[in-house]
C-alpha cells in the first residue's frame, strides 16, 4: 500500500492506496471539510497536526486520509468555511485516478 500526499490537483494511485490531503488551517473559525467524495473513495479520517506555532491563534494543518477502493476517476471537494456563513473562504478540488 502506497501513501500519496497532495494539496490540490490530480493524483494517480492504485486501488487500496491511501491519499493524504494536507491543508493549512488557522484558528479564525474557518474549518476545512469534505464537500464531495467520489463513490470509489473512503474517508479514513481527518485530524489536525501542529504547524509548529504555539502562540494562541497559531496555525495547524488539517489532514484528510482517503483510500481508493475501486478503479475510476473520483472527485474530492474540500471547503474552507465558517459553519455559520454560507460562502466559503476557499475551495479545493482533487481528482483521484485509481487504477
What value, to the nearest 5°, has the Cα angle with vertex 38 and ends 36 and 5? 85
Burial class (CB in 10 A: 0-12, 13-18, 19+), 29: exposed
Fold designation for 3-98 = Immunoglobulin-like (2.60.40)
pTM: 0.85
Between CA 51 and CA 53 the distance in angstroms is 6
Q: What is the pLDDT of residues 28-81, one digit of tens each?
A: 788 999 999 999 999 999 998 876 655 566 678 899 999 999 999 999 999 999
C-alpha dist (Å) from residue 26 to 54, 67, 81, 89: 12, 26, 11, 12
Asked if 94 and 22 touch (Cβ cutoff 8 Å), the reply is no
pLDDT (0 to 100) of residue 58: 64
pLDDT (0 to 100) of residue 61: 87
Inform me whether the pLDDT recorded for 2 exceeds 60. Answer: no
Amino acid at each position: 500500500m502506497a501513501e500519496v500526499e497532495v494539496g490540490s490537483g490530480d493524483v494517480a494511485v492504485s486501488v487500496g492506496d491511501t491519499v493524504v490531503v494536507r491543508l493549512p488551517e488557522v484558528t479564525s473559525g474557518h474549518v476545512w471539510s469534505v464537500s464531495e467524495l467520489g463513490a470509489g473513495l473512503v474517508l479514513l479520517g481527518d485530524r489536525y497536526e501542529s504547524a509548529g506555532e504555539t502562540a494562541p491563534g497559531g496555525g495547524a494543518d488539517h489532514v484528510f486520509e482517503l483510500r481508493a477502493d475501486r478503479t475510476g476517476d473520483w472527485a474530492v471537494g474540500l471547503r474552507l468555511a465558517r459553519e455559520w456563513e454560507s460562502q466559503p473562504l476557499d475551495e479545493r478540488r482533487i481528482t483521484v485516478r485509481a487504477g
